[in-house]
Structures are given as C-alpha cells and as structure tokens.
Amino acid sequence: MKNSANHLKAINPVRRVIFALAVIATGLTWTNAAIAQSRIKDIVDIEGVRENILIGYGLVVGLNGTGDSLSSNVFTKQSLIGMLERLGVNANDTSLDAKNVAAVMVTAQLPAFARQGVKIDVSVSALGNSSSLLGGTLLVTPMLGADGEVYAVAQGTLAVGGFAATGAAETVVKGVPTSGRIPNGAIVERELPFQLSDLKRVRLSLRNPDFTTARRISRAINAFVGLKTAKASDNATVVLDIPSNYKGELVELLTDIEQLQVQPDQIAKVIIDEQSGVIVMGENVRISTVPIAQGNLTIRITETQQVSQPTPFSNTGTTETVNRTAVEVEEGEDRKFAVLPNGVTLQELVNGLNALGIGPRDMITILQAVKAAGAMQADIEVL
C-alpha cells in the first residue's frame, strides 16, 4: 500500500503538468481563433448610413501680410468687392491692395442623420498665392452638397499646424501653413431626407468584397436570428430582411448584428509600390518550386583632381591640375542561387529572399519575375 501511494504521488504531478499544458494549448487556440475573427461592424457598411461631402468657397481675413496678391488673383479681388457691396460698402472706385485676405476652399463631411444645429468640423485650404493662413478668420461660407443645396454654414478662427518664417538669407517652413481646420466650425442647416426606420430590407456592403466572407456573414446572422433572413446576393452585398420580431426596431437588430464575430477571407495578393519600394504580401501567398538567383553588377567611377608642381627652385615647368580616374567593378560573386520548394509560405519566401541579401527594390523585380514564370499563386497589384 505504501508503494502504491508513493506511485500515485509521483504520477499526480505529471498529470497536473500535462493538464496545465493542455489548458495553455487550448487557450492559445482560442486566442488565435479570436484574433482571426472580426466584428461584422468592422468589415461592412450599412446602406444609407454614410457621410456626405460638402464644399464651399470663402474668404479668410485677418492675415498678417500673408494673404493673396489682389493684382494677380482676380477671383480674390472680385470676391472681396462683392462681399463689401453686400455689406453696403462701395469698393468699385477704389484701388484695393490688401495683403490680409485670402480666397480658400472649405470642405467638410456631413455625418449620417446629422440634425439641424449640429456642429461639424471643416478644413480650409488656400486657393491663391497666400503664403500662410495662420491667425486668419473664415467669414460666413455656405457649404454645398452634390445636389447644389446648402446643408451647412461655416465660420470661425482657423487652427493652423504649420508656419513659415522668412529672413534675408533663409526660410523655414514647418508643416503646411496654407491649410488649417476649424473644430465645430460649421452648423448644419439642412437634414438629409433619409429615414432608417422606413426600411423593410437592409443591405450590408462589404468593404473588401469576397464571396466566402459574404456567405459567412449571412450564416452568422441567420444563426443568431434563428431564421433565414440574410442572403449573400454577390461578393459585396448581404441582403437582410427585417424579421417579424424586430419590426419597428431596426436599430436594435443592427446593434445585435454588428457584434457578431466572423472570420474574413481574402485572396492571395501582393501589393507593390515601386516609387517607395514598399511590398505588402497576404498570408495566403504560395510559391511553387522555383530557383532564384540575383546578380548585382556595380560600376563605381571616382574622379579625383591632383595638382602637379615642378621641383622646388626649378626654372622650368608649370603647376597644372591632373585628373585621376579610378574604376571599380563589383560583379556580386557572393550572391547565391537558392531554390524555393513547392508551397512555401509567406514567411519562408521572405526568409529565402533575405538570405540572398536582396533589398526591397530588387525583391520587387524578383516577385514580378516569379509571377511571370507562373510559380506564384497570387495576384500582383502595382500602385
């Protein structure tokens, strides 16, 4: 009995360790699954729930001599004269030469369901040759929508993040002093004629269209509601019929659906920006068996001027400048020939190319060559 008890005591710690490892492994599996999933609200847009773009033309006054030149900016001068005439000031017979006025374009985003009296932020950008909008005040500016109607009115003091300082021999510019923002600078005057509660059917638009993701979203919604109310009509749209138990409570339905978790799918794609040398590859990129070698021929020419002088106390010879040229050729003999096996992953591809000492720009050329050879199971998109 003592031997059996000792044997059990020896086994229990081992079992406890195995149980702990199993729990840790299960937790890691759950963590990976949670990381791979996303909320529906983060991957779709609801039809009709969107922002609208507003634009306006106005004048900024109060600049410290950094405004438009009225002689070369006719639109600024005409706008200033028109504004003064509306205020009862006759400025046609005077020679205007103000330096504290600038013509600007004002833009804003009108949020969905914005009501009258709600304040929104606006962005202001110089239109003429103004050098800075620092310290300026935007005068009353109507904000127009795509239909030409006025939806908001903007006015206020600009907040400019950049500045420009000019001296006799040097100029310092930080940021962009010709653009700024006015927090809560516009007041909504007209509401959009859209009522969400009147909808009997809602369309969910995928931000990254994909057939698999659309089907997963529809299945997740149907499983939650308990009815077949959602259907993927294409790779970018999921049509949702309002269930009877949510009649008149569309906001409640959308709130519940937004929190559902699905795992988005994506196609294998490689994004290349040749100008900056940036490469972004999806995790589903696969490479078939292909050998890769990269040669690097570098020719370096160095020109050096040397002065040739006659010997000291010599009556013959003159001092001359002589050019010396040094030519160095590097053929990259240390470059290796590598073979990537069939079905390598993204990490293996990157490790293999880095092992060859390949930089980003050479890697772009190699990826395009691998795609041309038919060994890459992915799309390449060049920005």
**Mean of pLDDT values over 160-169:** 73
pLDDT of res. 13: 47
Beta carbons of 151 and 180 less than 8 angstroms apart: no
Q: What is the pLDDT of residues 2-23, one digit of tens each?
A: 444 444 344 444 444 444 444 4
Q: What is the pLDDT of residues 44-76, one digit of tens each?
A: 998 888 889 999 999 999 998 888 888 888 888
- The whole model's pTM is what? 0.64
Categorize the per-residue pLDDT at 317 as very low, low, confident or very high, splitting at 50, 70 and 90. low
Average pLDDT for the chain:
78
Q: How far is it, in rounded angstroms, from Cα 145 to Cα 141?
A: 13
Highest mean pLDDT among 11-15, 94-98, 127-131, 302-306: 127-131
Burial (0-12, 13-18, 19+ Cβ within 10 Å), 212: middle
- Vertex 176: Cα angle to 170 and 177 (nearest 5): 75
Whether residue 324 is predicted with pLDDT greater than 50 in this model: the reply is yes
Identify the H or E element spanning 233: none
Q: What is the pLDDT of residues 108-129, one digit of tens each?
A: 999 988 899 999 999 999 998 8
Picking from 49-53, 240-244, 311-315, 338-342, which range would have the lowest pLDDT averaged per residue? 338-342
**Mean of pLDDT values over 303-327:** 68
**CB-based contacts of 136: which residues, under 8 Å, 6+ apart?**
60, 61, 62, 63, 67, 102, 157, 158, 160, 180
End-to-end CA distance of the chain: 77
CA 146 to chain centroid: 25
DSSP codes, 304-334: EEEEE-PPTT-SS---EEEEEEEEEEE--TT
**Mean of pLDDT values over 131-141:** 92
Whether residue 367 is predicted with pLDDT greater than 50 in this model: the reply is yes
Burial (0-12, 13-18, 19+ Cβ within 10 Å), 240: buried
**Mean of pLDDT values over 240-264:** 88
Q: What is the dihedral of CA 68, 72, 78, 81, to 10 degrees?
A: 60
Domains of the chain and any CATH numbers: 52-188 (no CATH), 196-262 (3.30.70), 270-306+320-382 (no CATH)
